[in-house]
Structure 1
Amino acid sequence: MKTKLTLDLEKTLYETCQETGSIAVEEVTMPDDHGIVDTLSYQRLPNGQDEWRCYELKVTKNDFHSNAKLSFIGNYNYFVLPLSLYQEIKAEIPAEIGVMSYQKYDKMQLEAATEPVLTPGYLTVEKKPRYQELQLDSGELMRNFLYSLAREVRKAKRVDTGISQYSTDRLFSELKKRHQHYDIYDPENNFYERFIKETQTNAVTALQEEVDALNLEVARLQHQLLEASHQ
């Protein structure tokens, strides 16, 4: 499970990449023993060259010192760290690796904003990375990048369709699970109870609308018959 801080870093980094004209995606699996890139960005430069940047996100000192593979296979490679963590371990950052520090917006900054704030914080380049040649074939890198983008599109489509993709049997099964945790002392807060109540209310409303429509039609016919009898 990712911590809230990790998710905040991810979201801020993603928006930062978008602002610079890059395409970014999280958790890109590399072939062989190259590991998984936390965030990988791609940009086609004006000179026609492709530029790849890799970002490793670390939120604690233990995380930074873990044995997890660092997938610095791009042209430019960065650590993305909370500012407080960077100040603790900056002497340990390799010379060729860049650093972006994260700080959360405070209340005054949010109140002073003249445009909608899309991220929980902002990134500052503390140390620029050195250029290096790709550590992986560019075609293979692009394929893995596209696979990860496709994964994110599938996830987004699932969110967009919501529960409509599930069968009635599946939905009914989920409702029964909710009923197993029924709170007899506070029925108003039970999802099952609220679902049944709303379903019944909607049914009654629909029937009432149908009755009203029939009564209106009967009144109209009676009025026509009355006019015909007077002629």
Structure 2
Amino acid sequence: MKTKLTKQLEETLYAYCMENGAVPVEEVTMPDNRGIVDTLSYQQLPDGQTEWRCYELKVTKTDFHSKAQLSFIGHYNYFVLPYDLYVTVATEIPTEIGVLSYQPYDAIRLAQATDPVTTPGYLTVEKKARYQDLGVAEDLLTNHFIHSLNREVYKAKQAEQGLGQFSSHRLYKELKKRYQHYDISTPETNFYDQFIEDTQSSAVLALQEEVDALNHELAELQAQLRGNPS
């Protein structure tokens, strides 16, 4: 399971790549058994060349020293680390590997922001990566990248479809896993009924707010017509 900090790094890195004109995708399996890179980005350069960047996210010293394979096969390869961890392991990072450090926004900085804040924190380039030749064939890398993008699109479509895509049997099993005292024969502890009731209540509340807003607009229009007879 990903920690909250890992998810914050992922979210911030995704926005960072997009802002710099790259297309990122997370958890891409590398060709030739080169492992799984945490985030892989693709960018078409003005001269027509392509640029691949690999990012490995680490949130603890133990994580940094893990025996897990590092998939640094891109033209530029980076560690993405919380700033405090970067300070601790800076001397252990190979010369050719770059570092982006992460720091969360504090309450004061958020209060002073003049533009909408869309990420939980920000990244700083602590060390630039050196250019390297690709560690795998580019056509294979492109194929794996496309398949990973398709996976993310599929996940987004599933989320958009909501519960309608699941069978009643599967929903029942999932609800049982999520509620320790689920008992379909006991209304007081029937989690499914509670779920449906909460969903319907939210829908009713949203509709009521919309109706109230429309009634308010109608009242204003009526008042204008009474004050300005044709």
Q: Is TM-score (shorter-chain normalized) higher than 0.5? A: yes
CA change 1:181–1:92 in 2 (3 A) is same
What is aligned with 1:47?
47
Q: Partner of 1:38 in structure 2?
A: 38
Query: Structure 1 pair 75/172, CA: closer, same or farther in 2 (3 Å)?
Result: closer
Q: Shift in Å at residue 167 of structure 1?
A: 3.1
Letter of the 1:68 partner, please give it: A
For the residues of structure 1 that align with 2:117 and 2:189, how far apart are their CA atoms? Answer: 34
Cα distance in 1 for residues equivalent to 2:200 and 2:144: 50
Q: Percent identity, aligned pairs only?
A: 65
Deviation at 1:112, TM superposition (A): 1.3
Change (3 A) 1:32 1:112: same
- The amino acid that maps onto 1:17 is C
* 1:209-228 CA distance string (max 9 Å, x none): xxxxxxxxxxxxxxxxxxxx
Report if the CA contact (8 A) 2:181-2:189 is conserved: no
Q: Give the aligned partner of residue 130 of structure 1.
A: 130
Aligned to 2:104: 104
1:32 CA displacement: 2.1
Residue pair 1:28, 1:39 contacting (<8 A) in 2 also? yes
For normalisation by structure 2, the TM-score amounts to 0.78
Contact residue 179 and residue 192 of structure 1 kept, 8 A: no
TM-score by length of 1: 0.77
**Residues 64-75 of structure 1: matches in 2 within 5 Å?**
64-75=64-75
* Structure 2 CA distance for partners of 1:179 and 1:16, relative to 1, 3 Å: closer
The aligned residue for residue 18 of structure 1 is 18
After superposition, the C-alpha distances for 1:120-172 in whole angstroms (9 at most, x for unaligned) are 10000000010011111110010000011111111111111110112345446
Q: Secondary structure at the match of 2:79?
A: strand
Give 1:194 deviation, angstroms: 3.5
Which has the larger Rg? 1
Which secondary structure state, in structure 2, belongs to the residue aligned with residue 14 of structure 1?
Answer: helix
Structure 2 residue runs without a partner (length 5+): 202-230
Aligned pair count reads: 198
Q: Provide the C-alpha distance between the structure 1 equivalents of 2:88 and 2:178, rounded to a whole number of angstroms.
A: 47
What is the deviation of 1:113?
1.5
Moved over 6 A (4+): 175-180, 196-201
Structure 1: state its 5+ residue gaps: 202-231
Distance 1:67 1:163, change over 3 A: same
